Chains A and B, each alone.
Chain A
């Protein structure tokens, strides 16, 4: 199985400051169809997960442009340019290149 390792586990951030989350895969996530099926999810407290970014860097409909994704092959990053109070929650990377797996999650909280 592909293992996704997220760092840090927790990210205390000052409002208005940036945050960055890393996701490292144990294997290449490049699919035979040419796409890299790496997505980022946000889970606010008490809510189901919500898709933010798909295929590394594509923002889903309605997602604010302060969220951005980057990376390639095995190393990926989610960045929040200026953290707002509504961004508090747990963020997960997930891959669907080979079966489906999730990273362990990164908690974003306000300092």
Chain B
């Protein structure tokens, strides 16, 4: 059974950096891209970027370019999403998803405060 288990909820100060993890199991980690998606409260889904775990190549959405970094550790089958210079607008649930978009993590709630 494919599972994506994300790290727990976070409260961050504005201007700081967020790092969330997503541990994959039940499939060969390097076989599928890992995507990250942002969902602000009461809003729709916003694609942030992806990584090819096989070679580490990334593609980022223009909206997050320069602030986001997605990595993958093939020794632990874990992907990470780092978002810097947090603002209040980054308060959201963040999801990892793979299999284009077949499998989803449970989501990580992030609140940004002053």
Residues on A lying within 8 angstroms of B by beta carbon are 1, 37, 39, 41, 48-51, 54, 60, 90, 92, 94, 96, 99-105
Contact = CB atoms under 8 A, between A and B. Distances in A.
Interface of B: 35, 37, 44-47, 50, 59, 61-62, 95, 97, 100-107
B47 A48 contact: no
Nearest to A103: B44
Contacts of A51: 101-103
Contacts of A100: 35, 47, 50, 101
B44 A101 contact: no
Contact of B101 (A49, A90, A103): A49
Contacts of A102: 37, 44-47
Given A49-B97, A105-B44, 17 more contacts: A1-B62, A48-B95, A48-B105, A49-B104, A51-B101, A51-B102, A51-B103, A90-B44, A92-B45, A94-B45, A94-B101, A99-B47, A99-B59, A99-B61, A102-B37, A104-B44, A105-B45
B100 A37 contact: yes
